[in-house]
Amino acid sequence: MNFQSQKILFQIRLDRKIAVLFFVFLSVFSLQAQEITSPDKNLSLKFELKEGGIPSYQLSYKQKPVIKPSSLGLEIQNGTSFMDGFSITNTAQSSVDENWNPVLGEEKTIRNHYNELVITLAQAKNNNRYIRIRFRLFNDGLGFRYEFPKQNELSYFVIKEERSEFNLNGNHKIFWIPGDYDTNEYAYTTSKISEIPSLMKKATIEINAQQPIAALSVQTPSMMKSDDGLYINIHEAGLINYPAMYLEVDSVNNKMISHLAPDVLGAKGYMQTDAQTPWRTIVVSDKATDILASKLILNLNEPTSYKDVSWIKPVKYIGIWWEYFVAGRSTWAFGKENNVKITDDFTKLTPNRKHGATTERAKEYIDFAAKNGFDAILIEGWNIGWEDWIGNWKEEVFDFVTAYPDFDVKAVHAYAASKGVKIIMHHETSGSATNYERRLDRAFQFMNDNGYDAVKTGYVGKIIPRGEHHDGQWMVNHYINVAKRAADYKIMINSHEAVRPTGLNRTFPNWIAQESARGTEFESMGGLAPDHTTILPFTRLMGGPMDYTPGIFQTDLSYYGTGSTQRVNTTLVKQLAYYVTMYSPLQMAADIPGNYERFPDAFQFIKDVAVDWDNSYILEAEPGDYITIARKAKGRNEWFIGGITDENARTSNISFDYLPEGKNFIATIYADAKDANWNQNPQKYTVTKVIVNAKTKLKQYLAPGGGFAISIKEGTASELKGLKKL
Ligand code: NOJ
Ligand code: CA
């Protein structure tokens, strides 16, 4: 062997030694703790096994702790829990950076950019049965979930409780509603975490079908702010075949722990491998605007598998609706009776003479929709069963295909079609999911036969199957099955009272909006606090679009002379701003047509505003106080800005630097008058046309409980001439 080959051999041996050493070092290190950072390095996630083999994670943002060491695990019924006794058998890291295009959305293109860490954990005490925990760390936060791969030692199991901890770094300010298995329709309470116990009773006002959780808990999305200015939002993504998650509150230690909606037997999730939980999400930033801009929840959802999505369209609509809420104006029901069966002959009922959904009324609404460029009208109360629809926990309230005697489906559709307007179907199930499932195909076929392409579903009341909850695994699967089956019929769904959304509109893009929060209807039932809509985008809307039903111009409801003293707690102009601040590709102009006719200059904004967008710019935001958002219309050189404030007046500083450089545009500014006020002078506003460009800066006044709205479009030289430059 010459010197050269000896040297090579030595080198190989040395390399091997180093490789082995490196491997040993790596595995010892990796079995102890694993750390990854977000692509921009601001967020850092550490995973480790604590003594006893308990999985634990912690999260920091710019060196500040967001989640202090917190345990992860699940308790299993009749079996060994996935709580401890784990050892790490494998770790894997990867990165993804890709763009995708939602069918409808706030952005035309969404960037999905994250670093991933997957830990495989085996339980020696249980024949090395194993699970995985998958972490995805984005620039805007963390997602993690538990995975249960197919294996000899694990096939079926029932979850007793998920025990994911969120050990917060302080007694944060929190915007919260009580944990409830059946409704999210609560008013928000703003407090410190430590104050939740003493405020819980007051926060839990009575709502139809409520089942407040016995343990001290709050709903997600849960929005928090730390004393040192970190904004933290906890929710979930991709809620499929699993119950919704609430957060049990340990108000002494500032700790939240997952709590799942049970079924009647107390079980929380029936699982079969391969299986996984939904993602648990923590969106974090030191800027409130980043929270609203986050696309983390959508990114964690699966892309849609629908081949053709051309039939999924944004919808701006009016409806035979608000008049049902304006005390005593009109009714869903046709008959005076209140003990009917769907097998009864409804032509024999005694008409109550206030039925809203008549053929004549429908035609008036169709005329108004056609004249003002609306895509569709929602008609509620068209079908038999409304005489005793609520409160009786009755299985068969509606059949979804039989119209009342004074509503001619064919004639209404022929008239609507002749005017280019669609009718939105209404399927109130009164909580009877079983009845709805049995009749679903007939109901959707009826829609196809009569030209309906969208349906508003509703789940008012206690759920049937009796003992199930709105948020339990069974119902979670029900809503998804309805959306999937609707897709077979090319039908879009807008669900009310369903479990709050978790970004599934990416996977099932025909599920275009949901209510699942306290919406405009409550303005007729006690009113919404002036800060309510400055909180909703940070909470409920983090999960997906909301059918908030804005656009109420006649805010003082005593106007109708029906004895109501209720009032909508906003200025008229704030209602305009909602079309921009409350994102939804399905937007209603909820007021009665006559009220729009009284304020034609303000109504112009609702007629003009887009509902699907190329880009969104969150300009200003503070939960509970104010929000200002600008958006560019999908495929059009038009921009719309909406700004809202709480009960305090404010001045918004608006920039226009997202407009193309070097070009002048016409801006129409809808503003609260100087003496406007949500409770004393809500209908006083100004409409001004001016010239703006990318360099313009505007200081805009918002009245107490008020807002502003701006539409921006290109103009010809003659249109621009004579307008003042801002
Ligand atoms: C409650 C819904 O939120 C509301 O919009 C609807 O009109 C009623 N239920 C009746 O279905
Ligand atoms: Ca406030």
User: What distance in angstroms lies between residue 326's CA and the mean position of ligand 1's atoms?
Assistant: 13
Listed by start position, the domains of the chain span: 27-299, 522-537+550-586+600-726
Per-residue DSSP letters for 28-92?
Answer: HHHHHEEEEE-TTSSEEEEEEEETTTEEEEEEEETTEEEEEEEE--EEETTS--BSS-EEEEEEE
Has 161 been annotated as catalytic?
A: no
Helices and strands, number each (H, E), in the chain: 14, 37
Q: How confident is the model at residue 564 (pLDDT cuts 50, 70, 90)?
A: confident
Sort strands 275-276 and 141-148 into parallel, antiparallel or unpaired: antiparallel
Question: Which of 207, 326, 400, 496 to mutate for ligand 1's pocket (most ligand atoms within 8 Å of CB)?
Answer: 496
Q: What is the pLDDT of residue 327?
A: 72
* Phi–psi pair at 69, nearest 5 degrees: -45, 125
Nearest ligand to the CA of 644 is 2
Q: In what order do the strands lie in the sheet with 724-725?
A: 613-622, 626-633, 638-645, 707-713, 665-672, 685-692, 724-725
- Which ranges of 514-618 would DSSP assign to H, the alpha helix? 532-535, 572-581, 593-598, 600-608
Please report, for residues 279, 447, 480, the alpha-carbon distance to residue 477 in angstroms, rounded to integers and kept in the order given. Answer: 16, 23, 5
Q: What three-state secondary structure class fits 540?
A: helix
User: What distance in angstroms lies between residue 609's CA and the mean position of ligand 1's atoms?
Assistant: 25
Q: Which atom of ligand 1 is nearest to the CA of 426?
A: 11
Q: How confident is the model at residue 88 (pLDDT cuts 50, 70, 90)?
A: very high
Task: Note whether 668 and 626 are within 8 A (CB).
Answer: no
pLDDT, mean of residues 175-184: 98
Does position 218 have pLDDT exceeding 90, yes or no?
A: yes
What are the tens digits of pLDDT across the range 273-306? 999 999 999 999 999 999 999 999 999 999 999 9
| Residue 182 CB less than 6 A away from ligand 1 | no
- Give the separation between CA 607 and CA 587, rounded to whole angstroms: 11
User: What distance in angstroms lies between residue 249's CA and the mean position of ligand 2's atoms?
Assistant: 23
pLDDT, mean of residues 602-628: 99
> How many CA atoms lie within 13 Å of 544's alpha carbon, on the beta-carbon side?
33
First to last CA, the chain: 87
Q: What is the pLDDT of residue 6?
A: 45
User: What distance in angstroms lies between residue 496's CA and the mean position of ligand 1's atoms?
Assistant: 7
Q: How confident is the model at residue 205 (pLDDT cuts 50, 70, 90)?
A: confident
Catalytic residue from among 468, 521, 523, 638? 521
Q: What is the pLDDT of residue 31?
A: 54
Q: Which atom of ligand 1 is nearest to the CA of 325?
A: 7
Does position 191 have pLDDT exceeding 50, yes or no?
A: yes
pLDDT, mean of residues 609-625: 99
Q: Which atom of ligand 1 is nearest to the CA of 515?
A: 3
pLDDT, mean of residues 317-325: 97
Q: Which atom of ligand 1 is nearest to the CA of 458?
A: 11
- 342 CB-near residues (< 8 Å, 6+ apart): 384, 385, 396, 397, 398, 399, 402
Distance from the Cα of residue 268 to its chain's centroid: 23
Look at 20 and 522; give whichever has higher pLDDT: 522
Does position 76 have pLDDT exceeding 60, yes or no?
A: yes
| Residue 390 CB less than 6 A away from ligand 1 | no
β-bridge mates for residue 203, sequence order: none
| Residue 458 CB less than 6 A away from ligand 1 | yes
| Nearest Cα residue to atom 2 of ligand 1 | 496
What are the tens digits of pLDDT across the range 435-450? 999 999 999 999 999 9
pLDDT, mean of residues 594-622: 98
Does position 623 have pLDDT exceeding 80, yes or no?
A: yes
Q: What is the pLDDT of residue 48?
A: 98
| Residue 496 CB less than 6 A away from ligand 1 | yes
| Residue 723 CB less than 6 A away from ligand 1 | no
Look at 308 and 564; give whichever has higher pLDDT: 308
Q: What is the pLDDT of residue 668?
A: 98
Cα dihedral 457, 459, 464, 470 sign: positive
For the 27-299 domain, the top CATH level (class) is mainly beta
β-bridge mates for residue 331, sequence order: 355
Q: What three-state secondary structure class fits 192?
A: strand
Nearest ligand to the CA of 588 is 1
Does position 4 have pLDDT exceeding 50, yes or no?
A: no
- 678 CB-near residues (< 8 Å, 6+ apart): 530, 555, 569, 570, 571, 574, 647, 703, 704, 705, 706
User: What distance in angstroms lies between residue 556's CA and the mean position of ligand 2's atoms?
Assistant: 23
| Nearest Cα residue to atom 7 of ligand 1 | 321
% of the chain at pLDDT higher than 70:
96
Q: Which atom of ligand 1 is nearest to the CA of 549?
A: 5
Nearest ligand to the CA of 379 is 1
Does position 494 have pLDDT exceeding 90, yes or no?
A: yes
Q: What three-state secondary structure class fits 698?
A: strand
pTM value is 0.95
What are the tens digits of pLDDT across the range 5-44? 444 444 444 444 444 333 334 444 445 699 999 999 999 9
Q: What is the pLDDT of residue 677?
A: 97
| Nearest Cα residue to atom 6 of ligand 1 | 458
User: What distance in angstroms lies between residue 437's CA and the mean position of ligand 1's atoms?
Assistant: 19
Q: Which atom of ligand 1 is nearest to the CA of 496?
A: 3
Does position 225 have pLDDT exceeding 60, yes or no?
A: yes
* Phi–psi pair at 665, nearest 5 degrees: -130, 160
- Give the separation between CA 384 and CA 363, rounded to whole angstroms: 20
- Give the separation between CA 467 and CA 692, rounded to whole angstroms: 58
| Residue 460 CB less than 6 A away from ligand 1 | yes
| Residue 456 CB less than 6 A away from ligand 1 | no
| Residue 521 CB less than 6 A away from ligand 1 | yes
The per-residue pLDDT of the chain, averaged, comes to 95
What are the tens digits of pLDDT across the range 363-394? 999 999 999 999 999 999 999 999 999 999 99
Q: Please tell us whether the domain made up of 522-537+550-586+600-726 is placed in CATH 3.20.20.70.
A: yes
Residue recorded with tokens 């003082």: 556
Task: Note whether 430 and 461 are within 8 A (CB).
Answer: yes
> How many CA atoms lie within 13 Å of 378's alpha carbon, on the beta-carbon side?
30
pLDDT, mean of residues 656-673: 98
Distance from the Cα of residue 467 to its chain's centroid: 26
| Residue 380 CB less than 6 A away from ligand 1 | yes
User: What distance in angstroms lies between residue 272's CA and the mean position of ligand 2's atoms?
Assistant: 46
User: What distance in angstroms lies between residue 268's CA and the mean position of ligand 2's atoms?
Assistant: 37
Nearest ligand to the CA of 705 is 2
What are the tens digits of pLDDT across the range 526-543? 999 999 999 999 999 999
Q: What is the pLDDT of residue 207?
A: 83
Nearest ligand to the CA of 647 is 2
- Give the separation between CA 399 and CA 442, rounded to whole angstroms: 9
| Nearest Cα residue to atom 3 of ligand 1 | 496
pLDDT, mean of residues 82-88: 97
